[in-house]
Structure 1
Amino acid sequence: MLHTIKSEIDLDAPGKHVGYLRLPHSVHRSAYGWLPIPIASIKRGEGPVFIVSAGSHGDEYEGQIIASSLMRDISPDMVNGQIIILPMLNFPAADAGTRTSPLDDGNLNRLFPGVQSGTPTQVIAHFVEHILLAKADYIVDLHSGGSSLLYDGANMMALEPRDAEEEARVIGLLKAFGLPRAFLYQPNSVNITAAARRQNALCFLTELGGAGNVDKAILQQGRQGLLHLMGFTGVLSGSLVPESAPAEPQLMSIDRLTHYAYANHRGIWEPLAQLGDEVQAGQPAALIHFPDEPLREPQVVTFDGSGQVICKRATARVKRGDCLFQLAAKRLGLLDI
């Protein structure tokens, strides 16, 4: 199959190789130009293929730091199988520090399975699903809240398992990753988790803080958990693998229909709940204020579902449809598997 993206490195060659995926991009200042997507392949012997990606959303910085550090720190003698690392997967977005690509407004994690001859972000999605994920056993795609959202600490996510056997496997891997919370959620065909499932790979996401900042403790937890997971799968060994995971995770579920609260007007929002709070359906979540109409009473936003507040909007100005809160509900017992 012909792809418009060309890799500078041989993804099948043993050893450590670092270079760029070349995404052709013809513009006025550079008629025959290409965009450089950084990539590393570290391969030795037999074993699983493990992908670490970050920068799917360009304003999420924690993962870019973790992935870049792994590119420097991992050597071939530590690897049993192959580790592929991409710290700026949607390079145009990561280079600009924006959630979506400035070239096509593409949100990479909403464009799978991609289009081989489409816009730049569609082409990246197609290459990831049909070339990289086709090789993979595991992928960890590192995310955070970005500029507009703030997650409560370090979190990990996976698709709802399809049967008991997959559930036991996924729960074991989440325990090995060991971030404080693990969220299970329903499939969405345009996300990288669904793309991985189509290619028979297991995908885990992180949500590491956010608000356009980097928190030292969250960063350390994310790196420790990822390295411990890589050791658990057998792809990584040696001194880089921590003795333990960062935490014993609380398993939770996210309901796409009821676990989000949205602004219902344009204005300035006042939160009536904070990260970590337990809330109930019908409970007031926020007030929307209207300083340009100072005599107008604020509008109340209520929670549609019950659960724990795991994420909140990071900025005060809102428009109708902006996400204010995300909830998750505890699932008891499954982490005892």
Structure 2
Amino acid sequence: MVTLGTASAAPGEIDTGRLEVGESRDGSPVGLPVAVVNGSQDGKTLYMQAASDGDELNGVGVIQRVVPQLDPSELSGVILICGIVNYHAFQIAEHRNPIDDTKMNRAYPGDASGTSSERIAAATHDAAVSADLVVDLHQGSTSQMIEEVRVRCGSRHRLHEECLELAKVFDCGYILDQKGPDGQLARAAPDEGVPTIDPELGGCVGWDEESIRAGVDGVFNVLRYYDFLPGGYTPSPQARATGFEQYGSPVGGLVNFHPNLGDRVSRGDTLFEVTDVFGERKAEIAADSAGVFWRSRRLPQVATGEYVCSIGTNIDTY
């Protein structure tokens, strides 16, 4: 019998339940939706979670589509799932937990006696480090972004190669291999010996079916490669960036991008220009380095100094 919160499944069974993480302001319990898929054969344990940031819904779409396709009689090992991590932010479609104004993916490994976000982080961290592999589903918030997978433990970490292998197996075509900020699950779980990746499934308002399909494919790639499911999987060569440059606007106005997402750019290529409302050009911004046009803002209007786009740099093929 395998248990996560109130979900409990014997070999060959699936069960869903709630993982209690505190109480709401009326004193009623707050429970995250969780599932246990217990295979009929022994094997590894995979932990998956989504909506660590409350407006990043593509991961929820992935889980919504993956779970109905899982047959525990065909599965070896166990899959533990938390479908919505940032419960309070999800309810109001915001990025940060409104109870304590915290970005959840900066709160790991959490504190079981701490703030709302710290308690949620502690509970989900405990589930994550009980597994052999972790997939923490994200997206580029509401910006526009390519589908990619992030390895956040840093190149000198003892689990770097295992995390990089897991990222390649997820197989979105692009990998960002760069040490992440403190408090990310993809930083904290490898410190406990569990390879972890952070797939960033595009970026949109609501959810995007193409990005969700990429995530569903990625999950099943992982399940086959690590022998949860029969058939095996061989990942394709992918573009890996070990640098990430962000560009802001030196002026206010309206942005026009020159490259499309995923395009290769050379040093000196124009990334975007800013015009006034009458179309008169006010600024033209060029790339400082060669790389891949990785992410861009969704709305055209910008203020001075506001974020506009990002370039993945130091590209190789992995």
Q: Cα–Cα, structure 1 residues 111 and 171, in superposed 2: closer, same or farther, change >3 Å? A: closer
Partner of residue 271 from structure 1, selected from 236, 248, 257: 257
Aligned: 1:150 with 2:154: no
Distance 2:80 2:134 in 1: 9
| Deviation for aligned residue 1:82 | 1.4
Structure 1 distance, partners of 2:283, 2:316, is 36
Distance 1:8 1:231 in 2: 28
Give the AA of the match of 1:271: F
Amino acid at match of 2:60: Q
Call closer, same or farther: CA 1:296–1:155 in 2, change over 3 Å.
closer
Name 2:238's counterpart in structure 1.
250
Aligned counterparts of 2:158 and 2:183: Cα–Cα separation in 1: 25
Match 2:38 to one of 33, 43, 54: 43
Of residues 34-43 and 297-306 in structure 1, the stretch that sits farther from structure 2 once superposed is: 297-306
Q: Return 207-216 or 54-63, whichever deviates more.
A: 207-216
Alignment-derived partner of residue 3 in structure 1: none
Give the partner amino acid of 2:46. Answer: F
Residue 192 to residue 264, structure 1, CA distance change in 2 (3 Å): farther
Structure 2 spans left out of the alignment, 5+ residues: none
Is the 1:65–1:87 Cα contact (8 Å) retained in structure 2? no
Change (3 A) 1:171 1:36: closer
Structure 1: which 5+ runs fail to align?
Answer: 1-5
Structure 1 counterpart of 2:229: 237
The answer to whether the aligner puts 1:106 opposite 2:102 as a matched pair is yes
For 2:297, the equivalent position in structure 1 comes to 313
Matched-pair contact (CA < 8 Å) for 1:145–1:207: yes
**How many Å apart are 1:164 and its aligned residue?**
9.3
Residues 11-160 of structure 1 mapped to structure 2, 5 A cutoff? 14=11, 15-27=13-25, 30=26, 32-44=27-39, 45-129=41-125, 131-147=126-142, 149-152=143-146, 154-159=147-152, 160=154
Alpha-carbon deviation of 1:55?
0.7
Query: Is 1:188 paired with 2:181?
Result: yes
The verdict on how the C-alpha distance between 1:56 and 1:163 changes in structure 2, with shifts beyond 3 A counting, is closer
Q: Name the amino acid aligned to 1:250.
A: Q
Q: Is the contact made by 2:84 and 2:90 (CA closer than 8 Å) also made in structure 1?
A: yes
User: Does the Cα contact within 8 Å between 2:243 and 2:314 map onto a contact in 1?
Assistant: no
1:95 aligned partner, one-letter code: Q
- Distance in 1 (CA, whole Å) between partners of 2:251 and 2:122 is 37
Q: 2:247 maps to which residue?
A: 261
Q: 1:56 to 1:249 in 2, by over 3 A?
A: farther
| Deviation of the 1:327 alpha carbon | 1.4
Letter in 1 for 2:136: D
The CA distance in 2 between the partners of 1:102 and 1:23, in whole Å, is: 15
Q: Give yes or no for contact 2:250–2:305 (8 Å, CA) kept in 1.
A: yes
| C-alpha contact 2:225 2:233 (8 A) present in aligned 1 | no
* Contact 1:106/1:122 (<8 A) preserved: no
Answer yes or no: is 1:325 the counterpart of 2:287: no
| Separation in 2, partners of 1:179, 1:296 | 39
User: For residues 271-295 of structure 1, what are the alpha-carbon distances to aligned partners after superposition, in whole Å with 9 as ceiling and x for unaligned?
Assistant: 343322333445543344555xx79
AA matched with 1:262: G
Against the structure 1 CA distance between its residues 72 and 53, is the aligned structure 2 distance closer, same or farther, given a 3 Å change threshold?
same
Q: Deviations over 1:209-257 (max 9, x none)?
A: 22214333332222112112112112x225xx7x756x7242312425x
- 1:97 aligned counterpart, secondary structure: coil
CA distance in 1, matches of 2:98, 2:155: 35
Cα distance per residue 1:40-67 (max 9 Å; x no partner): 0122453211011111112222210111
Equivalent pairs counted in the alignment come to: 312
SS of equivalent residue, structure 2 residue 311: strand
Distance in 1 separating the partners of 2:292 and 2:64: 32
Match of 2:191 in 1: 198
Measure the CA separation in 1 of the matches of 2:238 and 2:113: 42
Distance 2:184 2:123 in 1: 14
Amino acid at match of 2:33: P
User: Shift of residue 267 of structure 1?
Assistant: 4.3
- Equivalent pairs: percent with the same residue? 21
TM-score by length of 2: 0.85
Secondary structure in structure 2 of the residue aligned to 1:270:
strand
